Amino acid sequence: MPRAKPGYTMRVPTKRTKGLTYAQSGVDIEAGDRMVGMIEQHMRRTYGPRVLGQHGAFAGCMRLDFNEKLFKRNYRDPVLVGCTDGVGTKVKLAAQLKVYDTIGQDLVAMSVNDLIVQGAEPLFFLDYLAVHKLSPAVGAGIVKGVADGCVLAGCALLGGETAEMADVYAPGDFDLAGFAVGACEMNRLITGSRAEVGDVILGLASSGIHSNGYSLVRAIVKKAKLDLGRVYPPLNDSRTLGEVLLTPTRIYSKSVVAVLRRYSVKQVVTAMSHITGGGLPGNVPRTLGSHLNAKIRSKAWRVPAVFKFLQAKGRVSDGEMLKVFNLGVGYVMVVKPFFAESVLNQLRRLGEDAFVLGKVTKGTGRVLMT
């Protein structure tokens, strides 16, 4: 029998009590502890020399700067940049298909791709996972996807939170949210204020639908009675429809940051946009300003088959498709005309499918499709 400390009394129960437990109310602490142990390896592979602290601590720590030679750059006048987002109803599709190891990349992409629009370098990411009932294996699979995304983004997964809420979520349902923090030199911050008439608009291809418009996607699947487990020839893909729809969002940070670092003095990139909900018309003007238009050639790129397939099956208008989806353009960079060809070639060498979309013209803050 354990011995009590001097000055204290110890009450030892003589029989098993029949009171309620936390697990009976829907929260399994032991399952959470098992998951924490399972995800440590995934978190650690995202760590770089700036990460401090230990796994399982109450908060993650990262040094903004240090003077070791292996560090690529030292900030002189740093600005912290933060973004937060979720995955939307794409999580419903992942839950339905029981595919959990890719949705985490979508989560990282949605924040990190926003963050680099301002010219920032991603530093770290934290996630929030809410479930009906925690399965450590499922949770670890989701976090593996988050870690995969962080590796692709070049940032550290410092920590996160998992919540069991049986009264809020139906069995099998879950939701994901997260946020990213990055840094940028004050004089290198990109706000779009330097964009001018004549600047060239470059597009970077998306990997598919990314993580916007899935309420419409799921409505089309339901109304057209599509089989998620079937391979449809019009998709020009050997994967099933479900696998195509769950293609993770492309992460552009390493390519974009590499291009920005190439020009340490000249302000070559004048504006950028992450093409999410609202498509090209809703996102490009956000960084160009109300005195400029983006004149974009609709034949400058090839629209992926998945969009044409969904449009046909749902009988969706061209205008609605352009307003809801990225249609194959996931990211936009606006650059000075003299450097356009060089930046385009750099992006291609970095693995991006990049192309000239159009030019900046005088206007009223609109996208003009030609």
- What's the confidence (pLDDT) of residue 7? 38
Concatenating the DSSP letter of every residue in 270-288 gives EEEEE--TTHHHHHTHHHH
Classify domain 200-369 at the CATH topology level.
Phosphoribosyl-aminoimidazole Synthetase; Chain A, domain 2 (3.90.650)
- Residue ranges, the chain, pLDDT below 50: 1-16, 70
- What's the confidence (pLDDT) of residue 53? 65
Quick one: what percent of the chain has pLDDT higher than 90? 69
- Upper half-sphere CA count for residue 230 (Cβ side, 13 Å): 7
- What's the confidence (pLDDT) of residue 36? 60
Nearest to 200 by CA among 332, 63, 18, 348: 332
CA distance 32 to 245: 30
- What's the confidence (pLDDT) of residue 74? 67
Three-state SS at 350: coil
Mean pLDDT of the residues in the chain: 87
CA distance 315 to 208: 19
Domain boundaries, the chain: 29-52+64-188, 200-369
Contacts of 312 by beta carbon, 8 Å cutoff, 6+ apart: 234
Where b means 16+ CB within 10 Å and e means fewer, 346-367 reads bbeeeebbbbbbbbbeebeebb
Domain 29-52+64-188 is in which class?
Answer: alpha beta
- What's the confidence (pLDDT) of residue 134? 84
DSSP, res 103: H
CA distance 253 to 47: 17
H or E stretch at 43: helix 29-44
Q: Which two tokens stand for residue 154?
A: 């070049």
DSSP, res 55: T
CA distance 76 to 29: 44
- What's the confidence (pLDDT) of residue 338? 96
- What's the confidence (pLDDT) of residue 69? 53
- What's the confidence (pLDDT) of residue 11? 34
